[in-house]
Copies of this chain bind each other. A is one copy, B any other.
């Protein structure tokens, strides 16, 4: 459902959300702890920095930190920079036009899934995700 790269970005963001306020984390450590190839994670973190989700600091005490508190970032914000360019609005059955007023035979059923996905990404913050997992670990 999400590409590998999108997943990796999410893992990194959740990782940084978990240790928000605890200083910067090194790319190498994030990569190790999330099970992502180190150099690949570097590139992902760099893109997240360009997108304003994280900030990077160079030098001996450098690393990455979340650019704002976890409750200010929706998952959509984290994932969007890595989405492929294909239009999410393409008709499943290949019709040139397919909308609520002029739907293909699968439109309504398919729409349920698209909307569930959007509501997950646009309605969930990093804080939601780490709270859930922490209430869980207690």
Contacts and interface: CB of A to CB of B under 8 A. Distances in A.
A130 B105 contact: yes
Interface stretch (A43-51, A56-64, A113-121): A113-121
B1 A105 contact: no
Nearest to A118: B113
Contacts of A35: 94
Interface residues of A, number: 36
Interface string A24-39: 0000000000111000
Given A35-B94, A94-B7, A94-B35, A124 B136 contact: no
A7 B88 CA distance: 13
A62 B30 CA distance: 57
A95 to B, nearest CB: 9
